[in-house]
Structure 1
Amino acid sequence: MLALLLLLGVAIYWNTREGTKTAREVRAEEGYRAPGFTIEALDGGGVLDVGALIGQKPIFINFWESWCPPCRAEMPYLQKAYEEYGQDVVFVMVNPMTSDTLANAKAFLAEERYTFPVYLDDKDGSVMRLYRVGAFPTSFFIDRSGVIIARHMGAMSEEVVETLMKKIARP
C-alpha cells in the first residue's frame, strides 16, 4: 500500500512539474511560452519588440503574403478582429517576403484598406524560422501570460477568428 501511494505521489509530482515546465519553456507550440523577437514595421514606423510584450498583453501573430489566396480569404476577418480587439490585443501581421514584393504587399493593403499593423521579416526569414512556419497563412494566439493557446495553419473562418480572439482578449 505504501509503495502504491509513493508511486502515485511521484506520478502527480512529474505531471505537475511537466505542466509547469511547458508554461516556462520557450517554443513556438501550443502550451509553451512564445519566443520573442524584434521586427520592422512595413510603413517604416520603427521596430516592434515582441519579446518585451510577451507576458504583458495578448498577442496575435499572423504570417501571410499578398499572392496567397487563403491569406487573402481570411484578411477581412482579421481586419474586423483588429477593429474590435486592437485596443486589447497586439496584432503582429508578418509578411516574410519569401516570394512577395514590397510593392505588391503595399498595393494589396492599400487596395483593401487594411489598417492593422504590418511588419516585414528580415531578409533571411528569421522570425518565420523561429516560429517554424511552413505554409501561409499561419497564425498564433498568445494569451496575456505569454503562452501560445492556439496555432492555426490555413485560412480561418470568421467564427474561428472570433472564438480564438475571445480566448486571448477577455480572460
Structure 2
Amino acid sequence: MRKIWPLALLFLLGLAQAVGLGERIPDFALLDPAGKPITRDTMKKPAVIVFWASWCPVCKAEFPGLQKVAEETKVPFYVISREPKDTKEVVLTYMKAYPRFIPLLASAKDKPHEVAARFKVLGQPWTFVVDQGARVVAFFAGRAGREALLDALLLAGVELP
C-alpha cells in the first residue's frame, strides 16, 4: 500500500498540471504527412488529440481500439509523438497500421515534443477530446477506455452512429 501512494500522488499532480476541462487547447503549428500546416484553429473539430511515443507499450496496446473508434465515428484523431527521438520516418512507418490517425510532425515553428510540453502532459498516452471551440471536454492520462471515449465524444458534440 505504501508504494501506491507516491504513484497516486504523482498521477493526481499530473492531472492538475495538464490543460484542464473547459480550457482551450494551446496553440501550435505542426504539419500533417502531406506537409499541410495544422494549428489549433485549422484542425477539424470536434477532435481527439493523442500524445504518444513509438516505444510506449501502453500506446501499442491502446491504438487498435482507438483506430476502431476513429473508423466508427469519423472523428479526426491527431497523434503527436512526445518523444524527441521519434523522427518523421519512425512516425510515418508506425502510423501505416492506423490509417484513420493523422500524425502531426515538426514544422519550422514547432516540434511535437514542444507541443506536448505546452499541453503539460507528463507521460503517454495522454488523450484530449476537444469540441468545436477547441475546448477540452475530457482527457485521459493513460489508456482511454472505449465507452469513456465515446461518452467524451458525445460531450464534444459528435453524433455517434
- Scaled by the length of structure 1, the TM-score of the pair is 0.69
Aligned-pair CA distance for 1:170? 3.2
Distance 1:154 1:50, change over 3 A: same
Aligned-pair CA distance for 1:48? 0.9
> Could you tell me how far apart the structure 2 residues matched to 1:62 and 1:98 are?
16
CA RMSD for the aligned pairs? 2.5
Match of 1:95 in 2: 81
- Scaled by the length of structure 2, the TM-score of the pair is 0.72
Paired residues of 1:97 and 1:120 also in contact (CA < 8 A): no
Match of 1:139 in 2: 127
* Structure 1 position 116 matched with structure 2 position 101: yes
Report % sequence identity. 28
Paired residues of 1:37 and 1:51 also in contact (CA < 8 A): no
Distance 1:40 1:159, change over 3 A: same
Aligned-pair CA distance for 1:150? 1.0
> Could you tell me how far apart the structure 2 residues matched to 1:144 and 1:128 are?
21
> Could you tell me how far apart the structure 2 residues matched to 1:48 and 1:102 are?
16
Aligned-pair CA distance for 1:113? 4.5
Pairing partner for 1:46 from 36, 41, 50:
36
Which 5+ residue runs of structure 1 have no aligned equivalent? 1-26
Aligned-pair CA distance for 1:67? 1.0
- Secondary structure of the equivalent of 2:147? helix
* Structure 1 position 70 matched with structure 2 position 47: no
CA deviations over 1:11-59 (Å, ceiling 9, x no partner): xxxxxxxxxxxxxxxx821121222222112x24321122344xx8312
- Secondary structure of the equivalent of 2:31? strand
Match of 2:25 in 1: 34
Match of 2:90 in 1: 104
> Could you tell me how far apart the structure 2 residues matched to 1:170 and 1:144 are?
13
The 5 Å alignment of 1:123-162 reads 123=111, 125-162=113-150
> Could you tell me how far apart the structure 2 residues matched to 1:97 and 1:44 are?
21
Match of 2:49 in 1: 61
- Structure in which a larger fraction of residues adopt helix: 1
Alignment length, in residue pairs?
A: 139
CA deviations over 1:48-94 (Å, ceiling 9, x no partner): 122344xx8312111011210111111112111211222xx332111
| AA aligned opposite 2:37 | V
| AA aligned opposite 1:33 | R
